[in-house]
Amino acid sequence: MGHLLSKSKYIRGLQCDRALWLDVFNPRLARYSAEQMRRFGHGRDFEYAFKSTFPDGIDISAELKRNVDAYPARTAELLDKGDGLALFEAGFQYDDVLVLADVVRQREDGSLDIYEVKSGTTLSETYKRDAALQHYIIAHCRRVNSFSIVYNGLDGVNGANGQDGRFMIIDLTEALAAEAGTIARNLAAMKDILAHGEPATPTGQHCLTPYACPYQHYCAQGVRQTSLFG
């Protein structure tokens, strides 16, 4: 079964309704700078480093590659077979939204400990919004025991709550669960946007925060109206 939204599209939609629409229907228009590509690469390196702390981890992306719509079924198959599994890029889908969790550890009782890995050195609001969406989707599919964000401690000595190494691990389970109502409303609004024609949102400061939008060059060609999400 295909999906309409993902966590990257959700974050894009919070930034700009037109960028969301383009991401879904015309992503070939996106242009990324060399600096943005460098940051993507750094993020992947940091993620791989954290995943290496789970030597028994099963990487679903290595098996299924770009066939992301097959990830949820494969994830369910693996989780249904036993306990103690560690999965990378585990797929969960609910209400036409697909999320891929960086690291999922299954506990003996079948519940899940989830880790979202970010290479930044601070716990940004954008990271929390990303994680809140994932928690919302996954909690509709499986029982979530904990959901933590992992970010870069830089010094490699002591992380939050006594963790060793450069991985700062913050458990945000309760805070993320409390965002369920907001997530549901945002998803409904985004689906409404996608059910209609391309929005005409003006360029502005939102083109740069929290990330430089890859559609700036395209949107600058015309006059746009205000974003639904502000």
pLDDT tens digits, one per residue of 164-184: 468 999 999 999 999 999 999
Q: Provide the pairing of β-strand 144-152 with 97-106.
A: unpaired
**pLDDT over 90, % of the chain:** 73
pLDDT tens column, 48-69:
999 999 999 999 999 999 999 9
pLDDT tens column, 29-47:
999 888 888 887 888 899 9
Residue 227 has pLDDT above 60, yes or no: no
Give 216 or 224, the one with higher predicted confidence: 216
| Amino acid 160: pLDDT | 42
Residue 223 has pLDDT above 50, yes or no: no
Domains of the chain (ranges; CATH) run 5-219 (3.90.320)
pTM: 0.88
**Phi and psi angles of residue 168, each rounded to the nearest 5 degrees, phi first:** -85, 120
| Amino acid 35: pLDDT | 84
**Mean of pLDDT over the chain:** 89
Handedness of CA 171, 65, 92, 9 (dihedral sign): positive
| Amino acid 38: pLDDT | 85
**219: closest CA among 16, 1, 13?**
16
Question: Among the residues of the chain, which ranges form H helices?
Answer: 7-15, 17-25, 34-51, 60-64, 71-81, 125-139, 173-177, 180-194, 216-219
166 token code pair: 């450069």
